[in-house]
């Protein structure tokens, strides 16, 4: 069974949250190998065409420009950043099929339809932020007061994450303590180790003095109180009643727990102040206003022993072919697009370009009249997970205490994403409100407006990120990443961190390293 088939089955059987967890476990979440590279050795001579002004293209243009190359960037969109993208009030976006949306968010509110968080160990992204003065703030990934939800459990009533975590840990700790007491661990641990184990289980699981996970002070210290501790005559807390391990197992809610412990989502995560596109804008500022030619749709890429010729058209004046020439080319166009463009490369590289499909994903941003998740439910940042097609709800870390806010109302993959992609944008927004109301009844009363991005309908990408299988990597990855004559590819698809900005940066640095070594050698391998 291929990895793609396995994850598709997980997504169908267990919902988006479980599938997303499995994605990370199967190699879509990894530590960055980035170390700030020394300046490219030797003086860069000649010219380079960079196709695409996403992060991979921006990094290539910036580093090659510093090395002395004459760089020209061709970008399909009217902005730089690629999937590094932020939508604000007044922004317009037209997806494949002609559906046009105008963002109606209030001033100061925004939504990141692409990347929305930066792990602390994605050192490439962070290093460029530090170099360019991009201000960062904390991004709350794990919030124990957020919800975990399944429509098939407790009549669809959401459960606080802290309650589920405490009951899961408490139930497991009690079972293990009982097993130790019955001698089941005698062959695996010394008497002294078993005594230490029992004490650690008491603390870990919130067990009482008899090593039971029951209603009382120990369990309530973990899962929360039915009545919060207070002051005065009525200050005594009321203990909450745990849910038994059998009920937790049968609820299947435990399958949503693992994501918060994955390496990519462990604290601290960060986000640029004011929107993720601050990173792309910083690169543009460093490159200068003349470096990028926008509205440039590449239609053909050719090369010979002397250089590269790219044919493109101005999307504001379609049908009029233009050409750009350079000694070298760094192509960062997503493979979902590049596979449809005539490109003069080896048969092996052409096969690699065509071998990588793109994952489907859809996001919905929802603006509400008030931040009810904070005032009513004390949820400040973090994520609630659900088996509904929306997959998750993300609460903004920024703007806490403000009058209004924008939630990530849906983040769907696989089958759920295809369902959303098949709908028109207005219906996607309506569905996100309908599903979200099962976790937050305030949705329908407080909702103001929303906007949706289904990545398979984004004209410049036609998908969310490159979807490698183990077999495809073994057969095609080296050919995809190698310098082919005077053309080299870069992007998250040319990395082992697909879907992450860090992967785009690492691939770009590797690509320009190959190009530069050949250039200083006089164009010889």
pLDDT at res. 27: 47
pLDDT at res. 30: 58
CA angle, 52 then 353 then 417, to 5°: 75
pLDDT at res. 264: 79
Is the bond preceding 268 in cis, omega lying within 30 degrees of 0? yes
pLDDT at res. 184: 82
d(CA 392, CA 115): 15
**pTM of the full predicted structure?**
0.91
User: Could you tell me which of 437, 25, 52, 93 has the C-alpha nearest to residue 265?
Assistant: 25
pLDDT at res. 7: 52
Token couple for 250: 């049968």
Pairing of strands 328-331, 238-239: unpaired
pLDDT at res. 511: 97
Set out the domains of the chain in order of their start, with CATH numbers. 45-72+281-356+465-520 (3.50.50.60), 88-119+136-145+267-272+359-457 (3.90.660.10), 161-251 (1.20.1440.240)
pLDDT at res. 387: 92
d(CA 163, CA 411): 24
Write out the H or E segment, with its range, that includes residue 8.
Answer: helix 3-14
The neighbour count for residue 266, using CB atoms within 10 Å, is: 14
pLDDT at res. 14: 46
Residues 303 and 344: beta-carbon distance below 8 Å: yes
**Average pLDDT per 10 consecutive residues for the chain, totaling 525 residues:** 52 46 49 76 87 98 96 98 98 96 98 96 96 97 94 92 94 92 83 90 95 96 95 95 91 79 84 98 95 98 97 94 98 98 98 96 98 98 95 96 97 89 96 98 98 97 95 97 98 95 97 95 70
| CA distance readout (Å), 522 to 161, 212, 372, 485, 525 | 60, 74, 63, 13, 9
The neighbour count for residue 131, using CB atoms within 10 Å, is: 12
Residues 201 and 211: beta-carbon distance below 8 Å: yes
Beta-strand runs (E) in 157-265: 159-160, 225-227, 238-239
Residues 373 and 400: beta-carbon distance below 8 Å: no
| CA distance readout (Å), 18 to 184, 250, 356, 365, 424 | 32, 15, 23, 22, 26
Token couple for 65: 């420009």
User: Could you tell me which of 328, 294, 460 has the C-alpha nearest to residue 49?
Assistant: 328
pLDDT at res. 414: 82
């Amino acid at each position: 069974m291929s990895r793609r088939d396995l994850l598709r089955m997980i997504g169908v059987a267990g919902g988006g949250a479980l599938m997303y967890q499995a994605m990370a476990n199967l190699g879509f979440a990894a530590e960055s190998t980035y170390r700030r590279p020394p300046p490219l050795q030797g003086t860069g001579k000649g010219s380079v065409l960079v196709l695409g002004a996403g992060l991979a293209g921006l990094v290539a243009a910036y580093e090659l420009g510093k090395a002395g190359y004459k760089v020209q960037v061709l970008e399909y969109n009217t902005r730089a950043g690629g999937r590094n993208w932020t939508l604000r009030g007044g922004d317009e976006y037209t997806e494949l099929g002609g559906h046009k949306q105008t963002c109606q968010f209030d001033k100061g509110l925004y939504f990141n339809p692409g990347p929305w968080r930066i792990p602390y160990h994605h050192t490439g992204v962070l290093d460029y932020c530090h170099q360019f003065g991009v201000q960062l703030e904390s991004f709350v990934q794990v919030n124990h007061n957020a919800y975990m939800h399944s429509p098939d459990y407790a009549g669809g009533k959401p459960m606080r994450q802290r309650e589920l975590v405490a009951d899961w840990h408490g139930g497991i700790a009690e079972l293990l303590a009982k097993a130790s007491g019955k001698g089941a661990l005698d062959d695996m641990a010394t008497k002294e180790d078993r005594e230490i184990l029992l004490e650690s289980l008491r603390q870990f699981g919130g067990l009482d003095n008899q090593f039971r996970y029951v209603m009382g002070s120990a369990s309530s210290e973990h899962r929360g109180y039915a009545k919060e501790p207070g002051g005065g005559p009525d200050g005594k807390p009321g203990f909450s009643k745990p849910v038994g391990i059998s009920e937790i197992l049968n609820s299947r809610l435990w399958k949503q727990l693992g994501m918060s412990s994955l390496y990519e989502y462990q604290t601290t995560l960060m986000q640029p102040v004011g929107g993720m596109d601050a990173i792309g804008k910083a690169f543009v500022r460093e490159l200068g206003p003349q470096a990028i030619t926008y509205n440039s749709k590449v239609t053909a890429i050719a090369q010979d022993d002397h250089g590269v010729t790219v044919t493109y058209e101005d999307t504001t004046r379609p049908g009029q072919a233009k050409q750009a020439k350079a000694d070298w080319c760094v192509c960062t166009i997503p493979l979902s697009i590049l596979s449809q463009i005539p490109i003069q490369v080896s048969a092996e590289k052409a096969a690699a370009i065509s071998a990588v499909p793109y994952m489907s994903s859809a996001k919905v941003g929802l603006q509400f009249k008030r931040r009810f998740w904070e005032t009513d439910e004390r949820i400040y940042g973090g994520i609630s997970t659900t088996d509904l097609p929306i997959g998750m709800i993300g609460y903004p870390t920024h703007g806490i205490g403000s009058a209004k806010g924008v939630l990530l109302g849906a983040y769907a993959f696989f089958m759920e994403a295809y369902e959303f992609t098949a709908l028109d944008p207005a219906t996607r927004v309506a569905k996100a409100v309908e599903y979200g109301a099962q976790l937050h009844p305030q949705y329908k009363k407080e909702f103001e407006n929303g906007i949706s991005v289904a990545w398979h309908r984004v004209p410049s990408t036609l998908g969310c990120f490159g979807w490698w299988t183990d077999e495809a990597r073994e057969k095609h990855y080296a050919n995809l990443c190698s310098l082919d004559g005077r053309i080299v590819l870069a992007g998250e698809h040319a990395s082992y961190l697909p879907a992450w900005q860090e992967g785009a940066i690492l691939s770009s640095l590797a690509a320009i390293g190959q190009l530069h070594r050949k250039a200083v050698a006089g164009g010889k391998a």
